[in-house]
C-alpha cells in the first residue's frame, strides 16, 4: 500500500509538472517568448523554459492576401528586403514580403493600358502643340491676306476715284464744247483767252543781258495765252495749255484755290520749265552764243475769280462761251534766281561755250492784264 501511494504521488507530481510545462503555461509564464531562443543541450532555454516547436505565439500571424495583378520588380533593381543569403527566410521577412508591397513596386506595377497611356502622353502633347502652331499660322496667314486685300482696295479707290471723276468732267467738257457755247460748265471751269501785257523784265541772273529775253520784247506790248481749266472736285482744278508757239506748253497742272468765297479768291499754279532764248546779238563778232537755255525756270500764274482791278466781277461778265476772255485779274511770272552754271549757251555748231556765266541777280518776265482794255 505504501508503494502504491508513493507511485501515485509520483504520478501526480509528474502530471502536475507536465501541466505546468504545457505550451500555453510556458507562453503565459514567460514575459517574452520566442521560438527561436537559444537552448542548451538539455532542451531548456536561457530563461528556463523548455523548447516546444508546436508552441503558438501570442500575436497571431498575418495571412497574406492574394492579389490578382501582381508583378515582379524590374530585373536588376535591388530590394534590401529580399535576402541575398542562401539561408531560409525568417518568418518576419516572409510576412513583410507577402503582406506589404513597397511603393516602388506599386509604382512600377502598372498594367499595359496604363503603360500605353503614359507612353502616349508626350505624343499627345506634341500633337496638341503642333495643332496650336498650325492654327496660329493659318490665322496669321488669313490676317496677312486680309491686310493685303484692304491695302489694294484703298489704293484702287485712292487712284481710281479721282481719275474717274476727271474723266467724267472731261467728258462733260467735251460734250459742252461740241455744243459750242459751254453753258453746261460752271465758272471757273472752261476754255479761256488770257490777254496780257508785258509789265516788267529783268536779266539780272546772266552776265550778258542779251541772253535773257521776254515775249514780247518791249514792256507794254501784249501777248495772249490760251488755257483750259477743268474742275476735279469742289476745290480742285487742273489747267492745260492749247497750241501756242509763243507760250510754254504744259498739260494737266494742278491748281490751288486760295481765299475761297472771299474777294481775293484766286486760282494758283506753277511748274518748272527750260526757257530757251536766242540772243538778240547772236552771230555777231562779240557774241558766239547762238542759243542759251535757262534750266528750271519757274513759271507761275495767279487767276483771280472775283476781282477785276479795284472792283468786283459782275454776274453778267461771266461769259461761258468757249474761248471767252478771262473776267478777273491775271498775274503771270517767269523767273530764275542766280544759279551757278546758268545759262547753258551753245555756239552755231551746238557746242557748249563758257563765254556767258551767272550773275548776282534775278531774271524776270512779268505779265498782267490790268493794262489791257
**279-328 pLDDT per residue, tens:** 988 878 888 889 999 999 999 999 999 998 888 887 666 767 888 899 99
Tens-place pLDDT, residues 3-49: 444 444 444 444 444 444 454 444 444 444 444 444 454 445 555 55
Q: Mean pLDDT: which of 65-74, 84-93, 111-120, 357-366 is highest?
A: 357-366
pLDDT at 184: 60
Residue 168: pLDDT band (50, 70, 90) is low
In a domain, 102, yes or no: no
Q: Which three cell numbers stand for residue 232?
A: 476735279
In a domain, 73, yes or no: no
Instruction: Report how far residue 275's alpha carbon sits from residue 295's, in angstroms, rounded to the nearest whole number.
Output: 7
pLDDT at 81: 52
Q: Residue 205 to residues 5, 126, 201, 215, 335: CA-CA distances in angstroms? A: 173, 79, 12, 18, 9
In a domain, 15, yes or no: no
- Report whether pLDDT(93) > 80: no
* 355 in Cβ contact with 290 (< 8 Å): no
Structural domain count, the chain: 1
Of the candidates 216, 176, 179, which has an alpha carbon nearest to the alpha carbon of residue 199? 216
The CB-side HSE value for 211 (13 A sphere, CA atoms) comes to: 26
Instruction: Report how far residue 69's alpha carbon sits from residue 113's, in angstroms, rounded to the nearest whole number.
Output: 13
In a domain, 79, yes or no: no
Q: Residues 268-283: what's their mean pLDDT?
A: 92
Query: Domain range holding 313?
Result: 191-369
Average pLDDT of the chain is 73
What is the pTM (predicted TM-score) of this model? 0.51
Q: Which three cell numbers stand for residue 181?
A: 457755247
Residue 63: pLDDT band (50, 70, 90) is low
In a domain, 44, yes or no: no
In a domain, 20, yes or no: no
Higher per-residue pLDDT: 250 or 186: 250
In a domain, 268, yes or no: yes
* 264 in Cβ contact with 307 (< 8 Å): yes
Residue 245: pLDDT band (50, 70, 90) is confident
In a domain, 180, yes or no: no
pLDDT at 242: 87
Q: Residues 346-363: what's their mean pLDDT?
A: 91
Q: Mean pLDDT: which of 40-44, 87-91, 185-189, 342-346 is highest?
A: 342-346
Amino acid at each position: 500500500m505504501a508503494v502504491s501511494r508513493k507511485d501515485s504521488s509520483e504520478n501526480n507530481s509528474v502530471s502536475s509538472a507536465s501541466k505546468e510545462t504545457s505550451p500555453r503555461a510556458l507562453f503565459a509564464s514567460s514575459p517574452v517568448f520566442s521560438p527561436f531562443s537559444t537552448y542548451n543541450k538539455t532542451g531548456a532555454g536561457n530563461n528556463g523554459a523548455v523548447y516546444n516547436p508546436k508552441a503558438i505565439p501570442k500575436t497571431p500571424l498575418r495571412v497574406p492576401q492574394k492579389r490578382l495583378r501582381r508583378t515582379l520588380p524590374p530585373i536588376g533593381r535591388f530590394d534590401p528586403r529580399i535576402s541575398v543569403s542562401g539561408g531560409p527566410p525568417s518568418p518576419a521577412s516572409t510576412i513583410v514580403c507577402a503582406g506589404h508591397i513597397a511603393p516602388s513596386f506599386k509604382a512600377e506595377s502598372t498594367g499595359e493600358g496604363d503603360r500605353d497611356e503614359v507612353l502616349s502622353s508626350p505624343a499627345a502633347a506634341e500633337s496638341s502643340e503642333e495643332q496650336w502652331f498650325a492654327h496660329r499660322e493659318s490665322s496669321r496667314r488669313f490676317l496677312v491676306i486680309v491686310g493685303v486685300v484692304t491695302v489694294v482696295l484703298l489704293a484702287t479707290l485712292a487712284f481710281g476715284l479721282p481719275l474717274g471723276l476727271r474723266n467724267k468732267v472731261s467728258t462733260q467738257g467735251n460734250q459742252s464744247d461740241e455744243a459750242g457755247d459751254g453753258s453746261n460748265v460752271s465758272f471757273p471751269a472752261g476754255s479761256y483767252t488770257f490777254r496780257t501785257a508785258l509789265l516788267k523784265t529783268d536779266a539780272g541772273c546772266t552776265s550778258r543781258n542779251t541772253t535773257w529775253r521776254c515775249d514780247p520784247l518791249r514792256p507794254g506790248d501784249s501777248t495772249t495765252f490760251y488755257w483750259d481749266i477743268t474742275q476735279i472736285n469742289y476745290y480742285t482744278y487742273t489747267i492745260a495749255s492749247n497750241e501756242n508757239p509763243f507760250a510754254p506748253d504744259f498739260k494737266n497742272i494742278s491748281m490751288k484755290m486760295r481765299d475761297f468765297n472771299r474777294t481775293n479768291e484766286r486760282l494758283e499754279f506753277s511748274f518748272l520749265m527750260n526757257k530757251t532764248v536766242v540772243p538778240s546779238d547772236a552771230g555777231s563778232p562779240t557774241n558766239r552764243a547762238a542759243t542759251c537755255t535757262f534750266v528750271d525756270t519757274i513759271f507761275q500764274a495767279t487767276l483771280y475769280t472775283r476781282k477785276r482791278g479795284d472792283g468786283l466781277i459782275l454776274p453778267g461778265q461771266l461769259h461761258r462761251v468757249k474761248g471767252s476772255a478771262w473776267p478777273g485779274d491775271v498775274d503771270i511770272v517767269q523767273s530764275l534766281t542766280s544759279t551757278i552754271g546758268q545759262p547753258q549757251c551753245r555756239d552755231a555748231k551746238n557746242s557748249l561755250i563758257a563765254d556767258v556765266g551767272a550773275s548776282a541777280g534775278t531774271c524776270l518776265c512779268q505779265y498782267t492784264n490790268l493794262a489791257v482794255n
